[in-house]
Every structure is written in C-alpha cells, then in structure tokens.
Amino acid sequence: MTINIPTSNSINGDKLAEDIYDAYGNIILEKDTVLNCKLKRYLVDLGIISINIYNPLTNFDNYEKVHKTIIQEVESTLTCILYKNDHIYDEITEYVSKMCKSISDNPIIIKALDRIKKIDNYTFKHSINTSLYSMLIAIWMNQSNKEVINATQAGILHDIGKIYIPHEILNKETKLTSEEYEEIKKHTLYGYFLLSNFSEFNQEVKKAVLFHHERIDSLGYPLRAKPDYVGITSKIVAVADVYDAMTTDRVYKMSISPSEAVNYLSSDGMEILDNNIIKVFKKNILKYDFKASI
Ligand SMILES: [Fe+2]
C-alpha cells in the first residue's frame, strides 16, 4: 500500500516504496530506504519532485508501546474535556467508554493518532474532541450504531492528512499567504489517499476525511462539492470541527465560550454548515460544560 507525496513534504521515518533514479538512470536511493531530513534534502536538491512511499499507517513497529502511550493520552484528553469543574456526565459515560474501546481496538487509528501527535499536540487533542462531538451529534440525531461509529472514526481521522503539511505552514502564527492556504487545503486529499485502501473504514468515513471542509453553499474545498454529494458524516464532522476550533485556545487566538460558539453556529454558521445538524447540536450541547483547552 503506497502513496505519492511531494518530496519536500516527506517526514522522518517515511519509507521509499520504489528505487529512485537520477537523470542518467543511476539509482540514487533504493526501495525501502527510510527517509530522514538529510536524505529528503538530497532528493529535493536533485530535483526529485514527488516520491512513492509506503503508507505510514501500515507500519506497526513498536506497536505495544505506541498503543499504551496513545490510549493514556486519549484518556487524559477526554478527562480534561469531560470532567472539568467536577461534573461527571453519567448519561454519556457509556458512549465515551465505547469510543475509547473503538480507538483501542483499531491499530490503524492508534497509528494515525501516533502520527498526528508527532505533528503537534493541538491537532491530536482537536481530533479527539472532534470525535467526541461527532459521536454525540450522531447519537442526538438518532443515527444507527453503525452511523455513530462512522462519525466517531471520521472525527478522529478527519485531519490525518495534516501529517503531510509542512510544520511551518501548519503552525504559522501570522496570516497565511494564498499559496500556504492552498497547501493547507491539501490535507483533505492526503487524508483520503492515506485511508483509501483500508477496508476497515467504510466510504462514509473516507468521504468525511475528504469533504469535512465542504460547505452547503458549495464554496468549500477541495471540490466545492454540492451538499447532497458529501454525505451526512462529513456534515456532522464539519460542525464538530468548527465548534472545537472556536472553543479551544491557540497561540495566536483566544477561544470563545461554548455559548458564543453556539451563537456563531446559529447565525453565520447557518450559511455554511448543515442547518439541521446545527439545530440538533444547539439543542443538546449547552446542557454540558465541555470546554476544550490545551
Ligand atoms: Fe481539516
């Protein structure tokens, strides 16, 4: 299982899935070579624009240790968001433990979270929070068990493609240039390519990774797709994603309160996100004192 990425976006540990040749037909790096900063620079300097690598989500070296670390981190992130101010929400405890089990039992999700955690802690926590909100929205919408699992998985994986967005762009504290914004947008495509060959995830989950930035006015990315085309799970993740981003502090912006975020969703948000999902979310979320923070 391989994916093609720009050479300059490769990260330490990526493994070549093919021999690389220079302009004269000489092998310069062999298949299975594990890339590091020096080798990446070497390839870029030689004008190798893109490379085929093995899908990093299929590498299970050191799995037990990774699994243990990730589960501890997931539990501490959920404890942080769920049990603030000593509130324990009995009515969702069962769902949250099912969510933890579905993460724990899926090696690809564990591997994905490990890679996300290596890019930055914000994206890691944002993925867990988005998964929690997506799962709750699916439950509040009376979706089937299967659909609730789709929403939970899609929430965790929606930004997995960010592992191939250069760190300096992803974490830039000043305004992005239009070229940098175009680069950021590609995380939806990288995410879809990373997951496309896994039969463990159904098409709804893959579509949500691809389409979570599409909008109901068809001005979103990557395809400016029509709302009928993107699927309900994408629309659920889109609401969860925006809400968590607004209620979480970043280095360059302070968070707003849950009620302010809900007000935004119920006003400007209605122009871009699914109106019915916003209504369901608004009706239910303010019963809880969830407040994400880093
Ligand atoms: Fe995203």
Q: Tell me the pTM.
A: 0.92
Q: Are residues 30 and 70 in the same domain?
A: no
pLDDT of residue 286: 85
The Cα 287–Cα 101 span in angstroms is 25
For residues 130, 134, 140, 141, the Cα torsion angle rounded to the nearest 10 degrees is 150
Ligand 1 centroid distance, CA of 154 (Å): 11
Residue 23 falls within a domain, yes or no?
yes
Domain residues for the domain of 11 are: 2-54
Q: Say if residue 252's pLDDT is above 80.
A: no
Pairing of strands 50-54, 2-6: antiparallel
The Cα 260–Cα 255 span in angstroms is 10
Q: Say if residue 72's pLDDT is above 70.
A: yes
DSSP symbol at 176: P
Q: Residue 91: which pLDDT band, with cuts at 50, 70 and 90?
A: confident
Residue 290 falls within a domain, yes or no?
no
pLDDT of residue 294: 46
Start-to-end Cα distance in the chain = 35
Q: Which residues surround ligand 1, an ion (CB under 5 A)?
A: 159
Pairing of strands 27-29, 50-54: unpaired
pLDDT of residue 173: 86
The residue written with tokens 């959920």 in the block is 78
* Span 129-184, pLDDT tens digits: 999 999 999 999 999 999 999 999 999 999 999 999 998 898 888 899 999 999 99
Q: Are residues 77 and 194 in the same domain?
A: yes
Ligand 1 centroid distance, CA of 47 (Å): 30
Q: Are residues 156 and 268 in the same domain?
A: yes
Q: Are residues 151 and 23 in the same domain?
A: no
Ligand 1 centroid distance, CA of 208 (Å): 10
Q: Residue 192: which pLDDT band, with cuts at 50, 70 and 90?
A: very high
Of residues 292 and 187, more confidently modeled? 187
For residues 18, 201, 243, 135, the Cα torsion angle rounded to the nearest 10 degrees is -150
Overall number of domains in the chain? 2
Q: Are residues 257 and 196 in the same domain?
A: yes
Q: Are residues 105 and 210 in the same domain?
A: yes
Q: What is the CATH number of the domain that holds 30?
A: 3.90.105.10
The number of beta carbons lying within 10 Å of the beta carbon of residue 143 is 18
The Cα 209–Cα 220 span in angstroms is 14
Q: Are residues 152 and 196 in the same domain?
A: yes
Quick one: what percent of the chain has pLDDT higher than 90? 77
Q: Say if residue 251's pLDDT is above 70.
A: no
* Span 18-53, pLDDT tens digits: 999 988 999 999 999 999 999 999 999 999 999 999
The number of beta carbons lying within 10 Å of the beta carbon of residue 112 is 25
Q: What is the mean pLDDT of residues 84-100?
A: 80
Q: What is the CATH number of the domain that holds 177?
A: 1.10.3210.10
Ligand 1 centroid distance, CA of 280 (Å): 22
